[in-house]
């Protein structure tokens, strides 16, 4: 979702202060660059967290700990398989954690629905009344006060 990153970054820039941190759950580091906001974690790619390798779980635990400690103002959930490259043998600790953590500490304030290569629907600060079909999507989540 590289092209969508620019609009997401603009939204983040408009709704954060320069010293606020954000976290991107997925492999879209360009969001940090375009938004000019620092990452709440040293893990700006998640591919290696999904690889079948002996450090995957430890890396996921580190990413979780870093995000929980930093308490980023915004968390961007990339619901696009190509941003994770999850395999059948991948550790899924971070995915289970994210579902729980986001629900407890964040409000979904934006949705980017990637319908096709040529069509993307953006919902910032006003989510659609009816739930759209979500195959490839990005959630913009703001920390609850």
The predicted-structure confidence for 86-136, as pLDDT tens digits, reads as follows: 999 999 999 999 999 999 999 999 999 999 989 999 999 988 877 777 899
Asked if 46 contacts 77 with a C-beta cutoff of 8 angstroms, the reply is no
- For residues 71 and 35, give the distance between their C-alpha atoms in angstroms, rounded to a whole number: 18
The predicted model gives 16-45 an average pLDDT of 98
Predicted pLDDT at 81: 94
Q: What is the CA radius of gyration of the chain?
A: 15
Stretch 61-66: mean pLDDT = 99
pLDDT for 1 beyond 60: no
**Which tokens belong to 128?**
């659609």
Check pLDDT > 80 for residue 84: yes
Q: β-strands 74-79, 21-25: how paired?
A: parallel
Residue 42 has pLDDT above 60, yes or no: yes
Burial of residue 94 (number of CB atoms within 10 Å: 0-12, 13-18, 19+):
buried
pLDDT at 63 over 80: yes
d(CA 43, CA 60): 9
């Amino acid at each position: 979702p590289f092209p969508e990153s620019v609009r997401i970054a603009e939204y983040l820039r408009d709704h954060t202060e320069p010293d606020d941190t954000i976290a991107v759950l997925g492999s879209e580091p360009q969001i940090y660059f375009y938004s000019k906001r620092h990452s709440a974690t040293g893990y700006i790619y998640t591919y290696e967290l999904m690889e079948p390798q002996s450090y995957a779980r430890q890396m996921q635990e580190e990413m979780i700990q870093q995000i929980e400690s930093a308490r980023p103002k915004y968390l961007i959930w990339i619901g696009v398989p190509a941003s994770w490259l999850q395999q059948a043998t991948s550790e899924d600790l971070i995915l289970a954690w994210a579902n729980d953590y986001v629900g407890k500490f964040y409000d979904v304030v934006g949705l980017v629905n990637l319908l096709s290569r040529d069509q993307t629907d953006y919902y910032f600060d006003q989510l659609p009344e009816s739930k759209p079909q979500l195959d490839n999507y990005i959630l913009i989540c703001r920390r609850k006060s």
